[in-house]
Amino acid sequence: MDIAYDHISSYVFVADYGGQISVLKLESQGFQFITTLKGHQSSVRSLAYDQESRVLFSGGYDQIIVVWDIGSQKGTAYELTGHKAKLTDLCFSPQVKRLLSSSERGNVGIWDLDIQREETAEWGGGSTCEKCGIPFFWNVKDMWTRKVIGVRQHHCRKCGRAVCAKCSELESTYPPMGFEIPVRMCQDCHATVTTDDRTPLATFLEFKSDVTDMDLDEERWIWITVGSDKIIKVCVVGSHCSVVDLAVSSNLFDDTVW
């Protein structure tokens, strides 16, 4: 559903409806398949790329942004979670290391990427809760032996352990890992999150309609968005991508902008 290009390595990133990103290397006689990036649970709608740091950003219909560290070749990635609807577009500012993201409900995020983030934890497996040991509902053997009813499996978003609902009933934001909205945590991890840890690292703006496309002119610091309400919004932003003023031109199209 979108593509991005790395000028240094000649890599092309191709996002698809299945939630995967194919990595291809352009060659004189064609291309070579390199690998597939899997981090989304549904369609990947938009890609953006930081040519300097060689970092790929992908926004999907699963409401999350995945940040892929391509340059390190270590396979590291982390999530940015703050939208409550399908992502529609991404726009990266290399000068100030800010990522702009938009979603279907008119929610626009400005993410500070000039900080050290924590990598997304790998999710644990197993057939029992890693905290209390109660079997999950597919573990028929333990359910029969212990004469208990199995429960649904959840995961602590901070440590990744597989836990039951009772052992992960607490929620908290955790911006260092990209969680700007409350997410499920186990009791141990929730107890370690401090007030400073909850300090937001992203800013969100509410538009009146879906933002379908956007672009940023860093020379004049003008941010332009196109909405499904047939309105183009021209935002004059500060050098750190903070909105200073807003000018609106409406009814520029006969049909809805897609």
Q: What is the mean pLDDT of residues 70-79?
A: 84
d(CA 136, CA 147): 13
Residues 53 and 104 in one domain: yes
d(CA 94, CA 244): 20
Mean pLDDT of the chain: 87
0.95 exceeded by pTM: no
Residues 53 and 31 in one domain: yes
DSSP, res 167: G
What CATH number corresponds to the domain at position 38?
Answer: 2.130.10.10
| Counted domains in the chain | 2
Closest CA to 197 of 210, 211, 215, 178: 178
Q: In which order are the strands placed within the sheet that holds 107-112? A: 87-93, 98-103, 107-112, 202-206
**pLDDT tens, 113-140?**
988 889 888 888 889 999 999 999 988 9
d(CA 51, CA 6): 6
Residue 208 lies inside a defined structural domain of this protein: yes
> pLDDT > 70: what percent of the chain?
92
Q: What is the mean pLDDT of residues 206-224?
A: 84
Task: Locate 187 and state its tokens.
Answer: 């009791």
**pLDDT tens, 5-56?**
998 889 999 999 999 999 999 998 889 999 999 989 999 999 999 999 999 9
Q: Is the four-CA dihedral 99, 102, 106, 107 of positive or negative sign?
A: negative
Residues 33 and 97 in one domain: yes
Q: What is the predicted pLDDT for the residue at 33?
A: 93
Q: What is the mean pLDDT of residues 67-93?
A: 90
Task: Please tell me the chain's helix, strand, coil percentages from 3-state DSSP, rounded to the nearest 5.
Answer: 10, 45, 45
Range of the domain at 132: 122-173+191-199
Question: What confidence tier does 106 reach under pLDDT thresholds 50, 70, 90?
Answer: confident
Q: What is the predicted pLDDT for the residue at 105?
A: 84
